[in-house]
Structure 1
Amino acid sequence: MSLEGVAELPLHEGSVPTWLLRIMERMSLAILRIMVEEFGPDKVVERFSNPLWFQGFNNVIGMDWDSSGSTTVLTGVLKSVTWRSPDLGLLVLGGKGGNARRVPQEVAAATRLFDLGDEKVRELEKASRLVAKVDSALFQAGYTLYHHALFLSENGVWSIVQQGMNLEKKTARRYHWKHGTSFFSDPHEAVSGTPSGKVLNIVDSRAEGLRRVLDDLVKEGLERVSSLYSQVYNSLKGQVGLTTYLAETGSGSITRVAYGDKGLLVYQPLPHPFEVHRLFKSIDVVVDGFEDLVLARGVGAKTMRALALVSHLVYDEPPGFDDRVDTPLDPFVYSYAIGGKDGVPYRVRRREAEEVVSTLEDIINRAKLGDKDKLRAFKKLRELKIRVVGKYI
C-alpha cells in the first residue's frame, strides 16, 4: 500500500547518543552488505537517489522519521562505514558544511581506490559543481544549501543528495540526483520537502527557451549581457510595485510588477547593474555558453535572477515558476523497525536493536562461509506482508 503526501523535515535539537550511533553503523553496514550481495554496488548507489528509500533506510537504523538531521546523520554514518569497508564497492563523499567543500579531494581519493582514472575525476568534480549550482542558483525556493553528499560505486555510477534550509520556516528540503540525467531540464530524480508556491525555476523543462537565449547571449559576450540587464533594470526602476516590494519584504519571493499592459512576475531582490558588471569583469575563464556561465566562480542566485529577467522581458522567454516537490510515500512506517532516537513511534530499545544487528551480521557471516540458505531466507522477507499499526506495507 502506498501513501501519498510530502515529507516535511523540521529542525530538531540534540545529538545521537554514542551507543546508538554504534548500532546505526553496525546495522547500516549489515544492510549494505546484504544489498550489495543481492543487487550490486551500482544499484545500491542508485537507490539513494530515491528520497523515500533514503528516508526508509534512515528510519530502519533508528533515526527520527521527520528530522532535518536525518540527512546529516545517515550520510555521516554511511560515509564512516563505507570508507572503513572499501570491499563493499561503494563510498559516500562530502556531507555537511566543511565536509561538502572537501568533495574534490575525496573524489580524487575515491577514484584512486577504485582505479577509475583521471577522466572520471574530472567528470565527478564537474557533476558535483553543477548539481550544487543548480540547487542554489537555478532552482530558487528560499532554501540555502548546507549539505552535499556524493554516493559513488566502484564502476563510477553516482547519486547526489543535497539539503537546503529555510531559516524563516525552520524546515529543510532534500534534493536527489541520479547519474545520467540532464543537469538543466527537469534534472532532479526527486525533491522532498514542503511546496513553496511560486519559485524561480530555470531548470524547468518548459524554460528551454530561456536557457537557449542565455546560451546565445553569453556567446555574444558578457558585456552585451551586462548592457541588456542595465536597460531592463532601469526600465523597471521607480515602479510602485517593485519599490514597495523591496521596501517591505526580504528575498526569496515572487512579485508582480506592472510593465506595459501586462503584469510581469519578478523574483526579488534584483542586483544593481553595477554588481552584475563588476562580476562579469572579474570572471577569469572563457565563458562560451550557458553551462560555462553556470560553472563560473561568483555567478550565483542573484546573477541568475537578473539574467532570467532579461530573457523574460526582452526575449519573451520566461523561467518556470512552479515548485517541484514530489514525495509519493510516507516512510514513517519504517520507524517501527527498531524505533526512533526521539521516541517516535517508540524510543529505541538498546538490547532489542543490538539483537537485530547481531542477526543481520550472523546472516552475512554464514553467507561468507558458504551458507547461502540464510541469505536467501532473508531475501524472502521482502515478499511478506507485514502488518504495522493496522496498515499493510
Structure 2
Amino acid sequence: MARRTGSADLPLHGGRVPAWLGQRMSTLGAIICQAIVHHYSRDEFLRRLSHPFWFQSFGAVMGMDWHSSGITTSVIGALKRGLAPLESELGIHVCGGRGKQSRRTPDELRNLGDRIGFDGVALTRASRLVAKVDSAAVQDGFDLYLHGFIVTDDGHWTVVQQGMNGDKRQARRYHWHSDDVADFVDAPHSAIDGPAQGEIINLTDKRATRSRLAQLDLLADHGPDRVADHYAELVARPTAQPLLPHLVMPAHHDVRSSDVFVRRLHGTLAAAAERGPVDFPDLLLTPGVGARTVQSLAMVAEVVHGAPYRFQDPARFSLAHGGKDRHPNPVPIKVYDETIRVLKSAVHKAKLGRDEELGALRRLDHQARELERTADGPSLEAFIAREREVSPLVGGRSVFGWEEDVAGQRKVDRG
C-alpha cells in the first residue's frame, strides 16, 4: 500500500538555471546517483526520489534555490542529462520532464521497452494513470505542467510531477513509487507536496473508498436527483485527518537560523575539520579551497547515506554549494568543481573494487552524526557572512555574475 510521507509549501520562482550551473548539476547529480547505487541499490535511489524531504535537499546540495519549486524542474532535467550516458551501466532511465517533454513520456517508455525488454505498454499506462489521478481524481487547484518518470531495467519506477497555481504563486509536487502502489485509485501517493488550499477533493484517499463506490451506486440505483441529498449527508460527517510531517518552504529567499538545524551544521563542520586531514590528505593542496571542499563533501555524504528524518531542513544543504541567486551565498565554483573531482575519482575507483575514497565519505558522514551531539561552532549568520567574504577567492558566481566583479562594482557604486 502507498504511504504518504508528508506535504510541503513550495513558492513559485521565475528565471532559468544558467548553463554553468546546469552542467555542474548534471554531473554532480549523476555521481551522487552512482554512489547511492554502489552502496545500496538502484531501487534505493528510486525510493529516495520518492521522498519529498530528500528530493528537496538533493536539489539544494546541487546549488539550486533551496526552497523553491524550481528544484523539481532542475533536478529532473539534470538527472535526465547526467544519467543518459550511464543508462546501460546503471539501468536507470529518466523520461518526461516539463511541458512538451512530459507529453513525450509514452513514446520514450515504449522505445525503452522495445530496446530493454520490459513492458513499455504497461508502463505507459502507469504514466497516464498517474497524471490522470493527480489532475482529475485529486482536484486541489493545481494544473500539472511537469511529469518525470524514472524507471529501472526491471520495470520499477518513481514518478515526480508538479502542478502550478499561478494566481497564488504556489506549486504542489506529487511523488509516486511503484513498490508502494497497490491500487492507482486507492491512496497511491508516496507524498503530496505543496501549500494547503482549503477544501481539497482527493478521491484517491483511502477514506474515499466508500465515496467512489457510492458514486456508482447513486447513479445506478437512484439517478442523478438523489446525488445532491447524499452529498449533503457526506459533508455533514467529516472524517478526522491524519497527522503527517509537513515541510513548510517559506517565502523568504535568504537562509535564516530558523531554517536550519544548527547543531547538525556544527557536527558537519567539526567532522570536516577532524576527518579531513586524516581521510583526504591529498585534497588539501589548494590554499583556501581544499578544506572548504571537505565541508561540502560531508553534506554530499549525508545525502548519500542519511536517513529520511535528517532532511527536514533542506536549507542546510544549500550551505554546501550556495545558490544561483546568492542565497545563502554565491556558488563557489572552485569548491563545486573540486567536489565533483573527488566524487568522480571515488566512484571510478569503487567500480574497480577500491572503496577507500567512498569509504572515507561514509566515515565523514558517520563522524558528523557523532559530533553533532557535542560540537559547537559559529552562528549560521557568521558562517554565511564568512562564505560571502571569501566568495571571490573560491570563484563565487551567481546569476548576477562573478562575485569578484559584483564586489568590485559595489566599491565603485559606494565611491
TM-score (norm 1): 0.70
Amino acid at match of 1:148: H
Q: Residue deviations 1:175-196, cap 9 Å, x none?
A: 1111142322222111111112
Q: d(CA) in 2 for partners of 1:100 and 1:199?
A: 25
State how 1:155-170 maps to structure 2 within 5 Å.
Answer: 155-170=154-169
CA drift at 1:319: 9.4
CA drift at 1:315: 8.7
Asked if the contact 2:6–2:193 (Cα under 8 Å) also holds between the matched residues in 1, the reply is no
Q: How many residues align?
A: 303
Shift of the 366–322 alpha-carbon distance from structure 1 to 2, 3 Å rule, reads same
Amino acid at match of 1:346: N
Shift of the 207–347 alpha-carbon distance from structure 1 to 2, 3 Å rule, reads same
User: Given the alignment, which residue of 287, 290, 312 partners 2:231?
Assistant: 312
State how 1:1-393 maps to structure 2 within 5 Å.
Answer: 7-86=8-87, 87-116=89-118, 120-179=119-178, 180-181=180-181, 182-216=183-217, 228-229=223-224, 231=225, 312=231, 326-328=245-247, 329-385=312-368
CA drift at 1:135: 1.1
Asked if the contact 2:6–2:192 (Cα under 8 Å) also holds between the matched residues in 1, the reply is no
Asked if the contact 2:7–2:246 (Cα under 8 Å) also holds between the matched residues in 1, the reply is yes
CA drift at 1:166: 0.7
Q: Residue deviations 1:187-212, cap 9 Å, x none?
A: 21111111122111212222211111
After the TM superposition, which of the residue ranges 122-131 and 208-217 deviates more from structure 2?
Answer: 208-217
Q: d(CA) in 2 for partners of 1:44 and 1:139?
A: 27
Q: Residue deviations 1:275-298, cap 9 Å, x none?
A: xxxxxxxxxxxxxxxxxxxxxxxx
Asked if the contact 1:9–1:172 (Cα under 8 Å) also holds between the matched residues in 2, the reply is yes
Structure 2 unaligned blocks of 5 or more? 248-311, 381-415
Q: Residue deviations 1:192-248, cap 9 Å, x none?
A: 111122111212222211111234567x5xxx89xx33x36xxxxxxxxxxxxxxxx
Q: d(CA) in 1 for partners of 2:217 and 2:344?
A: 57
Asked if the contact 2:142–2:172 (Cα under 8 Å) also holds between the matched residues in 1, the reply is yes
Q: d(CA) in 2 for partners of 1:383 and 1:43?
A: 19
Of Structure 1 and Structure 2, which has the larger fraction of its residues in helix? 2
Counterpart secondary structure, 2:161: strand
TM-score (norm 2): 0.66
CA drift at 1:334: 1.1
Asked if the contact 2:114–2:120 (Cα under 8 Å) also holds between the matched residues in 1, the reply is no
Q: d(CA) in 2 for partners of 1:316 and 1:124?
A: 37
CA drift at 1:69: 1.4
CA drift at 1:7: 3.6
Amino acid at match of 1:205: K
Shift of the 23–124 alpha-carbon distance from structure 1 to 2, 3 Å rule, reads same
Asked if the contact 2:116–2:153 (Cα under 8 Å) also holds between the matched residues in 1, the reply is yes
Q: d(CA) in 1 for partners of 2:330 and 2:82?
A: 24
Asked if the contact 1:62–1:338 (Cα under 8 Å) also holds between the matched residues in 2, the reply is yes
Shift of the 12–176 alpha-carbon distance from structure 1 to 2, 3 Å rule, reads same
Counterpart secondary structure, 1:67: coil
Q: d(CA) in 1 for partners of 2:242 and 2:348?
A: 47
CA drift at 1:96: 0.8
Q: d(CA) in 2 for partners of 1:162 and 1:320?
A: 28
CA drift at 1:109: 2.0
Shift of the 42–10 alpha-carbon distance from structure 1 to 2, 3 Å rule, reads same
CA drift at 1:323: 10
Q: d(CA) in 2 for partners of 1:209 and 1:389?
A: 55
Amino acid at match of 1:128: S
CA drift at 1:84: 2.1
Shift of the 165–102 alpha-carbon distance from structure 1 to 2, 3 Å rule, reads same
Amino acid at match of 1:17: P
